[in-house]
Structure 1
Amino acid sequence: MPQPLAGHLIRTGALRPTREPTPWDAPLPAPTPAASWGGAEHTAGFTRVAGPFSTTAAVALARTWSITRIGRREHAMNRLIRAIEASSSATCRPASPAEASEAVLAVRRTAWHAPVRTACLEESAAATFLLGSQRLSVVWCHGIAADPVRLHAWVQTVDGNLVAEPPSTRAYTPALTIGARHQHRL
């Protein structure tokens, strides 16, 4: 079988780079973090949060699980996004940092007792639903960090403050935000 022309030219040395390599062509030396889909840096349901079980947080978690598990699996994220948008559109005022933090921590406390997977996606969506049931708004964020690729979902206040998240969350670039300030009438 004949070799492609470009492969032949490279192999024989007839094809050469058009310019000399520059210092910025080399990769920068940096420690490579372990691959993570949110569970390594943000332990979500792996860290027990002290406090009482919350029935309203359990309802919000049940809503999240039912949205993601009923129907075709490949449409689960789309269903969850539409539900978060609907919940955010019915809010009256922004949640204070204390209200938002209490909602996230209530979801985390309740998720500790759940027999199903609960990670950042489920926790952040459930916290958004919990606050939405009280007509309070937050910004739900789904973001990505590169090298290696890491995904994370979190909640922040309408002013952009992280809610019950470590500072390393700022390393994620939000790819999708729902409930941002420009989407609300204040």
Structure 2
Amino acid sequence: MADIPLYACAPRYIRTIAFPHVLVLIDYRTGRVRCLLPKSAAHWQDAARSGHLTAMPLPLAAHLLHVGALRPTSKPVSWGPPVSAPAPAPSWGSAEHPAGLTRAARPFTTTAGAALAATWAIERAGSRKSVMNRLILALRASVCAARRPASPAEATEAVLSIRRSAWHAPVRTACLEESVAAVLLLSAHRLSVVWCHGIAADPVRLHAWVQTVDGGPVAEPPSTLDYTPALTIGARHQQHP
């Protein structure tokens, strides 16, 4: 405890989302999610405004420094406030949140398989702890290749083609893999969409999806609107962790 610095700030790869009952920290190096209950969340907010670690109890400050959610600074540096998220409607554990249930036609069939294979290769190209970071780097690189935004029809065809191929995949393919592969598939055709990674509460859960540059979620159920975006990559909406 004696080595706790006086000042610290949250690195850019940490995104915070504030629900009324919990503050969620997402580490986009590792994909790790941590939650701070209201009392600890209030200490985080105080430290964010002042840059002083004295605003936090020493055990909490030591833990956040140890896991990389904070890093020491030589002087007080305030960091941005968390993204505000609305209070979730009470579900009592019974709410259903479907995703990706629409069956696909046959567009981009061959390249869809290649995009999925590329996504899986990126995931397995290094340490499991840095999977999210590698995927984000690949997404950033792919959006630079686009020449024009994908139309809603083009984006929908790509997402559903990826989803169709994923149903026959021998490895795990969830929303993260599907959404990344859809971006890679469209970038192969020099088309762009916005990749989104968001969070919802009650319970705290994550979801990844794509949306058109000027529109809403592509081939997603209405429940996707319950998610507050924490990170978006693509077009002018791009954010860097």
Same-fold call, TM cutoff 0.5 = yes
CA contact (8 A) 2:105 2:157 kept: no
* 8 A Cα contact 2:194 2:210, kept in partner: yes
Whether 1:41 and 2:97 are equivalent positions in the alignment is yes
> Which residue of 48, 52, 77 corresponds with 2:132?
77
Q: Is the 8 A contact 1:152 1:172 kept in 2?
A: yes
DSSP 3-state at the match of 1:141: strand
Matched residue, 2:171: 116
Q: Pick closer, same or farther for the CA change 1:50–1:34 going to 2, 3 Å.
A: same
Q: Are 1:170 and 2:225 matched, yes or no?
A: yes
Task: Select 2:105's aligned residue among 40, 51, 56.
Answer: 51
- Contact kept? 2:104, 2:157, Cα under 8 Å: no
Q: Which residue of 2 aligns with 1:19?
A: none
Number of the residue aligned with 1:32: 92
Distance 1:140 1:130 in 2: 13
Q: C-alpha displacement at 1:173, in angstroms?
A: 0.5
C-alpha displacement of 1:50: 4.4
Normalising by structure 2, what TM-score? 0.58
More strand as a share of residues: 2
TM-superposed deviation, 1:34: 5.6
Deviation at 1:31, TM superposition (A): 2.6
Cα 1:161–1:30 shift into 2, 3 Å: closer
Contact 1:104 1:123 in 2 (8 A): yes
Alignment equivalent of 1:152, drawn from 202, 207, 226: 207
| CA 1:94–1:66: 2 relative to 1, 3 Å | same
Identity among equivalent positions (%) equals 67
C-alpha distance in structure 1 between counterparts of 2:89 and 2:237, whole Å: 39
Q: Which structure is larger by alpha-carbon Rg, 1 or 2? A: 1
Q: Which runs of 5+ in 2 are unaligned?
A: 1-87
Paired residues, what number?
151
CA distance in 2, matches of 1:91, 1:144: 27
Rounded Cα–Cα distance in structure 2 between residues aligned with 1:128 and 1:89 = 11
Aligned partner of 1:62 in structure 2 is: 117
Unaligned runs of 5+ in 1: 1-27
Relative to structure 1, the CA distance from residue 98 to residue 150 in structure 2 (aligned partners, 3 Å threshold; closer, same or farther) is: same
Q: 1:113 to 1:158 in 2, by over 3 A?
A: same
Equivalent of 1:140, from 170, 195, 198? 195
Q: 2:181 pairs with 86, 109, 126, which one?
A: 126
Distance apart, 1:49 and its partner CA: 2.0
Distance 1:127 1:29, change over 3 A: closer
Question: Higher relative CO (CA 8 A, sep ≥ 6), structure 1 or 2?
Answer: 1
Is 1:106 aligned with 2:172?
no
1:32 corresponds to which letter in structure 2? W
